[in-house]
Amino acid sequence: MTTLKSHAMTPNFYSSTSSDRLRATIERIMEFFNSASGKNITFVRPAYFTISGFIGIPNMKYYYVFLFFVYVVSVLGNTAVMAVIYLDLNLQTPKYIAVFNLAFVDLIGSSALVPKVLDIFLFNHYNIPYGDCLTFLFFCYTCLSMQALNLVALSYDRLIAITYPLHYQVKVTHRFMFSLIASFWIFVIIAVLTAVGLITRLSFCKSVVVNSYFCDHGQIYKLACNDIFPNRVIGNLLPVLILWFPITFILCSYLYIGRALAKVATVQERLKAFRTCTAHLSLVAIYFIPILITFTMSEKIHPNARIINLSLSSVFPPMLNPIIYVLQTQEIKVSVKKILQLRRKSRIMVK
């Protein structure tokens, strides 16, 4: 443990320019909290945090192989979805702007989480420098939060398309969808940076062992030995904003959709309208159900099982999202067939 007042450690992980800017921002936030307190505070900041989530769980090497497979499928699937939407002009609609952003978030989130988890536990690099851990926390929480809010954007798109079909082109425009997604990004970045900034005001004079599979916000601030009330407030507020608000909005939107479909004359028209929602409903179920089960039954679940369930809920949606959209969305299937046919024709012409 090292006692520091304003000394910033130089991390090695996430050494890109954007990450350096992020770490500089975190340090400025720390200086703001220190100056706001109106007095000089001596912080006991550890040189590193120890990630211990999977340590002691038997047969975990097979799970790491599984994580690697999931990561490869996630990267290939989300890259393919982004490429198809980019190449096909017919898919460059407000709805598929949200789908493109979801694939982008899934790709970045998987790349931020899985390789580092494999590096930590497969190669026994359990100690993460202080600054690297906060950067790791920022990327993971930002991407996980954006996944949930992106489902809100897709839910709103389906709500307007089914309940107000004649006004859809006016209410859901490219500009509106870009603005909605941009506002979600700004909100999430500010919220997560606030959580990270509040961690930098903590003094860690107890254990530095984080009982999670990544630099978990809740597990970190509970290790502090000074006042953690602001951290506890933001820790309780974030799930409400990025978990309960999205699922509440999505459920209410589908209740309203169900009420609108009940007024449709024929059963075939109801099914046709509902089929446009199947892909989105599948994404919602895959993302929210494991998290809700884990949180509501956390006291009855063994800590090791809880950690594995949370890790699966973090890596599974990015892998399954592109598969679901390719298999259940007619427009993407048609677009993929067109692209494959064009490639075959080009090969034949070259030969």
End-to-end C-alpha distance for the chain, whole angstroms: 67
pLDDT category of residue 179 using cuts at 50, 70 and 90: very high
Domain extent at residue 64: 2-350
Percent of the chain with pLDDT over 90: 56
**pLDDT at residue 284 above 50?**
yes
Q: What is the pLDDT of residue 19?
A: 62
Cβ within 8 Å of residue 87, ≥6 positions away: 335, 339
Cβ within 8 Å of residue 48, ≥6 positions away: 127, 128, 129, 130, 133, 208
Q: For the chain, what is the domain count?
A: 1
Q: What is the pLDDT of residue 102?
A: 95
Put simply, whether the predicted model's pTM sits higher than 0.75 gets the answer: yes
- Summarize the confidence of residues 215-244 as an average pLDDT: 92
pLDDT category of residue 72 using cuts at 50, 70 and 90: very high
The region, left, alpha or beta by phi > 0 then psi within -120 to 50, assigned to residue 14 is left
In CATH, what number is assigned to the domain containing residue 201? 1.20.1070.10
Report which residue type is found at 188.
V
pLDDT 10s digits, 131-147:
999 999 999 999 999 99
- 56 vs 236: which has the higher pLDDT: 236
Residue 3 token pair: 């006692």
Q: What's the rounded Cα separation, in Å, for the pair 179 and 101?
A: 12
Cβ–Cβ under 8 Å, residues 121 and 64 = yes
pLDDT 10s digits, 97-112:
999 999 999 999 999 9
Report which residue type is found at 14.
Y
Tell me which residue of 269, 203, 271 sits closest to 42, measured CA to CA.
Answer: 203
